[in-house]
Chains A and B, each alone.
Chain A
Amino acid sequence: MGKYILHRLIIAVPILIGISILTFFLIRLVPGDTVTAILGTNYDPKLAHKLRSEMGLDQPVILQYLIWIGHVFMGDFGTSSFTGQPVLSALMERLPITLELALLSLVVALIIAIPLGVLAAYKHGTRADYASGTFGMFGISVPNFWLGTLLILIFSLHLHLLPSGGYQPLSKGIGENLRSLLMPVIALGTAVAAVTMRSTRSAMLDVLNEDYIKMAKAKGASNARIIWKHGLRNALVPVMTVVGIQIGYLLGGSVIIEQVFALPGMGRLALQAISNRDYSLLQGTILFVAVTFIMINLIIDVIYGWINPSIRYK
């Protein structure tokens, strides 16, 4: 198992390097550099030149990259050219909010979707199965930001049950914290639930035709035991792959959902960085999101290895 995790880690390294190169050079392409953005209407060529050399922006681009990546390795992501705050501390402030939103959405979605998918497969071909299929299709088609908007419209503006936005940290109590995340989690998690339900259903249908399921039946296992013990564990193998892909959706979608519900997470930070042309902040944010994505996928890989023993021993 240790070997397996190490192997997954090694695979992640070139991707991380690629991501850093991509983000660094992509952002160099943004029209109008930071200095222009900082000076705004008071643009003075001499002052601009001075600022550029102070910030290292007059060096060759490759050198700038190497300096930047060197600093990143030391944990120094630079300082925000707009607020002057160190990028890392800005990110660390925002990361827990995005992570909580994404993981909560994922967990809620899985808890609802996997049993539904299993039942749809078990009731294969019945009306309940078709209903869940149609619901699943709607779930992957409805835009999360519209769903969020509708939730606000109904539960905040009309029924006054829930806050329309803003984040309550855990320090204010878990109840308040969850109240502030309830609608964002529904808005973000619906699509994940729909995708997971659909893939669980089709994986389960495949598994239920396997010989070892017939064998379990011949052993005298009850239907419940066959489905939840023998079937589900096997069906989860392909489902986990789909869940891994969903992590990307969750992190990307949180950019939008954070905007809809005014949650101060990493996605909002990225949007602010874009509108302020805050290079170092934007670079740091994207790199951070990519690393988070890769790390969560690594965790998924480990779970995958735990579910599927034949992978583990390869």
Chain B
Amino acid sequence: MLKVWNRYRHNLLAVSGLVFILLLIVIAIFARQIAPHNPYTMSTAARLTGPSSSHWFGTDQFGRDILSRIIYGSRISLQVGIIAVGVSFIVGTVMGVIAGYSGGWVDSLISRITDVLFALPDILLALVIMAILGPSLNNLMLAIGIVYTPIFSRIARGAVLNIRDSLYIEAAYSMGVKKIKILWHHILPNILSPLIVQVTLSFAFAILSEAALSFLGLGVSPDTPSWGIMLSSAKDWMELAWWTAVFPGIAITLAVFSFNSVGDGLRDALDPRTGTGN
């Protein structure tokens, strides 16, 4: 563990990503205390005003403070990330472990399902699911969760297959250890590191997907302070007010960047062989 941290520590990009994620979590938790304005309060007098000392990032077409909406938006992004990735992590890992461990027709069935889900571009699949479920935050998290389930299933299956036949599992078998115990004590800890990396990277994807689907009008409801929604409405106003389009995008990019670089750093730190020297 200490070794992993020592390797991680030397990766500047990964460390700054981690710091930014922690900052994001603090901002999300204390949004009410940090935000200078109420993110929902409209003001006809303050419509589309540029960045100023009272509105650092300006205001939108309803006179709402963009900085405050971005601060509250961090809650949506993190919530989507946690729930959607949580769903796909748990469901996908269970599917993959079952497939890899049991083999036979169960494996074939699960593998074919993941193949089919992989053959559809993920945004398109999420779009169709959102069309079925209807736009709402809960449905969005479910849709993104479904889309990223096959990745976890595939990784878990591959990792299980890799070590299922290895000597120490065979040794455990021959000593009469129960199947479920082998699974829990020997296989799960061993497949954890590729899954942890994937969790981090999926977090980045989930934040991007939420923003993209909301941008298309198939995500959260339009009055929600979500970064994607803010960009979506900025399209119509940006000719007059560039700040409506610029700041929410920076927020998304930074958040996604942080999760990506942490995922990258973790991968290099957990498996020094793939370390590419960055």
Contact = CB atoms under 8 A, between A and B. Distances in A.
Interface of A: 14-16, 18-19, 22-23, 26-27, 29-31, 124-125, 129-130, 133-134, 137-138, 140-143, 145-146, 149-150, 152-153, 157, 201-202, 205, 248-249, 251-253, 255-256, 259-260, 267, 270-271, 274, 282, 286, 289-290, 293-294
B231 A134 contact: no
Nearest to A32: B134
B261 A137 contact: yes
Interface centre among A133, A201, A252, A282 (most CB of B within 10 A): A252
A137 B16 CA distance: 13
Q: How large is the interface on B (under 10, 10 to 19, 20 to 34, 35 or more residues)?
A: 35 or more
- Report the 3 A-B pairs with minimum CB-CB distance, sorted nearest first: A252-B121, A18-B116, A146-B249
Given A149-B234, A153-B242, A274 B127 contact: yes
Contacts of A259: 216
Contacts of B115: 14-15, 18
A293 B119 contact: yes
A26 B277 contact: no
Nearest to B129: A26
Nearest to B232: A145
A142 B235 CA distance: 17
Q: Which one of A146, A252, A253, A267 has the highest number of Cβ atoms from chain B below 10 Å of its Cβ?
A: A146
Contacts of A152: 238
Nearest to B201: A140
Contacts, number: 142
Interface residue SS majority, chain B: helix
Contacts of B192: none
A137 B17 CA distance: 11
Given A31-B132, A149-B235, A293-B121, A141 B256 contact: yes
The SS class assigned to the A binding surface is: helix
6 contacts: A30-B132, A137-B261, A149-B235, A149-B245, A255-B123, A255-B124
B120 A146 contact: no
A125 B215 CA distance: 39
B276 interface: yes
Nearest to B242: A153
A131 to B, nearest CB: 11
Interface in B224-238: 231, 234-235, 238
Nearest to B255: A141
B60 interface: no
Contacts of A14: 112, 115
Given A137-B261, A141-B253, A149-B238, A290 B231 contact: no
Contact of A146 (B112, B124, B231): B231
B210 to A, nearest CB: 10
Contact of A141 (B120, B212, B238, B257): B257
Interface in B256-278: 256-257, 260-261, 264, 274, 276-278
B187 interface: no
A201 B264 CA distance: 14
Contacts of B204: 141
Considering residues B120, B218, B256, B274, which has the most beta carbons from chain A within 10 angstroms of its beta carbon?
A: B120
Contacts of A153: 238-239, 242, 245-246
B231 A31 contact: no
Given A27-B128, A124-B277, 16 more contacts: A14-B112, A18-B113, A137-B264, A141-B256, A143-B252, A149-B238, A157-B239, A205-B276, A248-B120, A255-B124, A259-B216, A271-B127, A282-B128, A290-B119, A290-B120, A293-B120
